[in-house]
Amino acid sequence: MTVALSHGTGPVLVAVDFSEDSRRALGWAARQAQLEGVALIILHVVHDPAASPGYYRKPEENWLRPMIDAAQAMMRDFLSEVKAVNPDVPELEAGEVRLVSGLPAGRIIEVAEDTKSALIVVGRRGRTALEEVLLGSVAERVAQLSSVPVVIVKSPVPGPRE
């Protein structure tokens, strides 16, 4: 399925959290950007919530390493994996990668406004089930707050919480 962008020719902004649904969202967003002939912005909001402390750290890593450095490494690995599965989508190579800190939903909206994005794409489920139960999903919050269309992509493969 594709969506005709009605808010102009701004970029497609895809927010990723390295989950399976965000992998799927990135592939979908890149194909949408390719179809529309617009730029792709790949965003990750660096956030270490109480529901999943230490997400950006592996036991063998230096725990004094800044979260943003660990997030950059995770983003490189994530993009390599998505590119390997979608070799026919050049937008994945050309996409602008941004990492920002903060609370995910608000920062996604802020970046979309700052970049004049025509569309926001997010995965349906993120990293933790607890966060979704306690706070509502980031995807749902973005859809509620956004002034531009939001596409929520769900992975076809059942996750561990389904």
Q: Nearest to residue 14, comparing CAs of 2, 23, 1?
A: 23
Query: Could you tell me what percent of the chain has a pLDDT over 70?
Result: 74
Specify the CATH number for the domain of residue 31. 3.40.50.620
More confident residue, 156 or 53: 156
Residue 69's pLDDT is what?
A: 85
Residue 60's pLDDT is what?
A: 60
- Domains contained in the chain, number: 1
CB 116 within 8 A of CB 20: no
pTM of the shown model: 0.82
Residue 9's pLDDT is what?
A: 83
Residue 123, domain member (yes or no): yes
Residue 6, domain member (yes or no): no
Residue 41, domain member (yes or no): yes
β-bridge mates for residue 104, sequence order: none
The answer on pLDDT for 57 being more than 90 is no
Residue 16, domain member (yes or no): yes
19 Cβ partners below 8 Å, 6+ apart? 123, 125, 126, 127, 159
Residue 1, domain member (yes or no): no
Q: Where in the sequence is the domain holding 36, given as residue range(s)? A: 12-153
Structure tokens at 78: 């994530």
Cα 12 to Cα 5, 35, 119, 134, 138: the distances in Å are 9, 11, 5, 29, 18
Residue 162, domain member (yes or no): no
Average pLDDT, the chain: 83
Confidence of residue 55 (pLDDT cuts 50, 70, 90): low
More confident residue, 67 or 8: 67
Confidence of residue 92 (pLDDT cuts 50, 70, 90): very high
Residue 98, domain member (yes or no): yes
Residue 143, domain member (yes or no): yes
Highest mean pLDDT among 69-78, 104-113, 147-156: 104-113
